[in-house]
Chains A and B, each alone.
Chain A
Amino acid sequence: DTAVSQTPKYLVTQMGNDKSIKCEQNLGHDTMYWYKQDSKKFLKIMFSYNNKELIINETVPNRFSPKSPDKAHLNLHINSLELGDSAVYFCASSHGRDSTQYFGPGTRLTVT
C-alpha cells in the first residue's frame, strides 16, 4: 500500500489556468505538508497543516491555497498559474512536529 500518494503525477497547463493537486496519506499521521522543488532541486516548504491549524510560509503567494477535507487529505489549489510555478510539488506527512516526514512521489507541474 502506498503511504503517501499524489495525483496527478504530471500536470501540463497554460498560464492563467486554475489547477489542483490531491494528496492522501494512510499512515494515520496528524500533520501534512506541501513542498515545492524548483529546477535547482531546492526543496522549499509551502504549508504545514496540523489538526486543522494551518501554518503558511510567508513567501508563498496567496494564489496557492491548501484545503484539507480530513486528516488524511491535503489538497493544493493554485489559481492563475504562472510560468514560475513550474516545479515538482511534493506532499508529505508526519506524526506530530519534529518528526520524520514521509514524502509522496511528487507532481511535476509544467506551465506553458
Chain B
Amino acid sequence: QKEVEQNSGPLSVPEGAIASLNCTYSDRVSQSFFWYRQYSGKSPELIMSIYSNGDKEDGRFTAQLNKASQYVSLLIRDSQPSDSATYLCAVEGGSYIPTFGRGTSLIVHP
C-alpha cells in the first residue's frame, strides 16, 4: 500500500514569515512529486512539481526533494493571508495511480 504522509495541521504562521510544509512517502520507486493548493470549497490547483533531488524555486515557493530520505517539502516565503489553504502532496510512480496525502491546513494570520 503506497502511502503519503502529511501533518494535518493547522500550521499557523504570521504574515511575512516562512511556512514549511512537509511530506514523506513510502514507495521508493516514486518518480514525480507535486504540491497542490486547495482553497475551501474549490478544486486542487498545482503549485509546484519536482522530479529530481534538490531544490526548485518558483517565485515565493520552493520545493525540496530528497529521494534517499523519501521526503519532499514546500517552503512559502513572505507568507500572505491569501496563502491560507490546504496543501496537498502528491506522489506518482509511473503507474497512472497518483497518491495524495491528507493535506496540511495552513493559516497565515495578519
Residues of A within 8 A of B (CB): 31, 33, 40-45, 48, 50, 55, 57, 90, 97-106
Contacts and interface: CB of A to CB of B under 8 A. Distances in A.
Interface of B: 31-32, 34, 38, 42-46, 49, 51, 86, 88, 90, 92, 94-100, 102-103
Contacts, number: 56
A103 B44 contact: yes
Contact of B92 (A57, A97, A102, A105): A97
A43 B92 contact: no
B96 A31 contact: yes
A82 to B, nearest CB: 23
A104 B99 CA distance: 18
B44 A43 contact: yes
Nearest to B96: A48
A100 B100 contact: no
A91 B50 CA distance: 23
Contacts of A106: 42-43
Contact of B43 (A41, A42, A104): A104
